[in-house]
Amino acid sequence: MKHLLKMLDLSSEEIYDLLDLADKLKSDRKQGIPHPILKGKTLGMIFQKSSTRTRVSFETGMYQLGGYALFLSSNDLQIGRGEPVQDTARVLSRYLDGIMIRTFAQKEVEDLANFGSIPIINGLTDFCHPCQVLADLMTIREFKGKLEGLKMAYIGDGNNMANSLIVGGLKTGMAVSVATPEAYEPDKIVLDYASKQKDFNLTHDIKEAVKDADVVFTDVWASMGQEGEAAKRRVAFNGYQISEELLKFAKPDVMVQHCLPAHRGEEITEAVFEAHSNEIFEEAENRLHIQKAVMVTLMK
């Protein structure tokens, strides 16, 4: 494993190795056991899209590992404003030990990996969100004790979260059922992969997707960069909401996960969000631990 670019690149064994390491790092942290595994290393953090959780969790994680995190906003770089990505990759490779990038196009992340000589971590693109989904899998395993044999349901936009959850769930032995409105299905590349696996279902019926689910996911109806489509999307996604009524179709001990920020009253009701807030905020915390596991695996 040289980079973390997308879930499709990871084997099942690599996913489970990352989850096991994250569990250990979380346990060490809770017990106050120092683990400066990346002492003297520097992570460059490129943000073409802003994010509270991504910046704080990577920066804090790098500090806990004994290294240093360098924040680079779009104003600090020439990417997209004259300097080819391949040149930026080769220059930064001479200064840094790893790069985390949060941006729009998946190609930009892939190009950094192709032309640079240091590990690249995808902090989010429009295609996928591997760090978040690894944290989600870690959280499910904490609460349920296993992944294999469980059913995951996703309700909402077939966006980067849906793309990554489908692949992550199937690769760890879960059944995955996704419900989206028409014209908002997941990426064709992901659906081609999923169609060759057992236990995958794509539907427009939210009750069918949630039936007997062990864990239910959702995400905002309009992601960053789609603000201009918000009104149109509210119409298209009307009814694609996780509510107490919908969860009656899931198993009685169903978990609910949300990558945040949550828009209460749109994709999830206030009552469901608050009833499952312990699981949701544990999921948010686990971004810290799984990203530390990714950095240790790639940069030590």
Active site residues: 102, 129, 132, 219, 259, 287
178: left (phi over 0), alpha (psi -120 to 50) or beta: beta
SS3 241: coil
Name the strands in the sheet holding 98-102, side by side, starting at the edge strand that comes first in the sequence.
Answer: 68-73, 42-47, 98-102, 120-124
State phi, psi for 139 to the nearest 5 degrees: -70, -45
Q: CA 61, CA 289: separation in Å to the nearest integer?
A: 7
Q: Token digits for 247?
A: 């969860």
Cα separation values, 247 from 79, 173, 221, 222, 258, Å: 45, 23, 19, 23, 15
Q: CA 230, CA 49: separation in Å to the nearest integer?
A: 18
Q: Token digits for 173?
A: 């032995």
- Consecutive H or E run containing 256: strand 255-258
